[in-house]
Amino acid sequence: MTEQIEDDFWAEERARAAAERGRQADPSACGTCRGNVEAGGQVEHDVCAQRALLLPAPDAPGYELITGMTEEEVRALPARFHIPVFVEPVRAWVCAVCWGDGWSTRWPCKTATEQGLNVFTAEDYAESRAKRETAELAAYRALDLGDVKGRVSASCDNPEHPTWLRAKDDDRGCPWCTIAELEEQRERRRLRLIALQNDALNIRGSLSPADEDRKVPFPLGETLTPAVDWLIARVAELETELARAQRPSYSNRHVWSVWREDQPIHAFYATIEDAWQGSIDCWEEDEPVCPDYSWRPDGGRLELVVGGEAGGVYISRHDVFGTLGPALPWAHAMTDDDLHLFLDDLVSAAIDRWRSDPNVPDRDILANIEKVCSNWQTPGQGYRSDEDTAGDAP
Mean pLDDT for the stretch of residues 234-259:
74
Q: Is it the case that residue 143 has pLDDT exceeding 60? A: no
Q: Are 174 and 159 in contact (CB under 8 A)?
A: no
Dihedral sign (CA 262, 263, 269, 274): negative
128-142, 145-159, 228-242: range with highest mean pLDDT? 228-242
Higher pLDDT, 138 or 102: 102
53-62, 187-196, 346-355: range with highest mean pLDDT? 187-196
What per-residue string of b and e applies to 255-290 under the rule 16 or more CB within 10 Å gives b?
ebbbbbeeeeebeebeeeeebbebbbebbeeeeeeb
pTM for the model stands at 0.32
Q: What is the pLDDT at residue 145?
A: 42
3-state secondary structure of 311: strand
18-27, 196-205, 294-303, 308-317: range with highest mean pLDDT? 308-317
Q: Is it the case that residue 164 has pLDDT exceeding 80? A: no
Q: Is it the case that residue 340 has pLDDT exceeding 60? A: yes
Q: Is it the case that residue 263 has pLDDT exceeding 60? A: yes
Higher pLDDT, 51 or 188: 188
Q: Which of 384, 58, 353, 312 is nearest to 189 (CA)?
A: 58
Mean pLDDT, the chain, as a whole number? 79
Distance CA 339, CA 230 (A): 67
- Band the pLDDT of 144: cuts 50, 70, 90: very low
Higher pLDDT, 241 or 147: 241
Provide DSSP, 188-243: HHHHHHHHHHHHHHHHHHHHS-TTS--SSSS---SSSHHHHHHHHHHHHHHHHHHH
Q: What is the pLDDT at residue 378?
A: 67
Distance CA 155, CA 160 (A): 10
Q: What is the pLDDT of residues 377-390, one digit of tens each?
A: 765 555 766 665 43
Least reliable range by pLDDT among 101-115, 119-133, 249-263: 119-133
Q: What is the pLDDT at residue 305?
A: 92
Q: What is the pLDDT at residue 255?
A: 84
Helix axis angle for 362-377 and 336-350, nearest 10°, is: 160
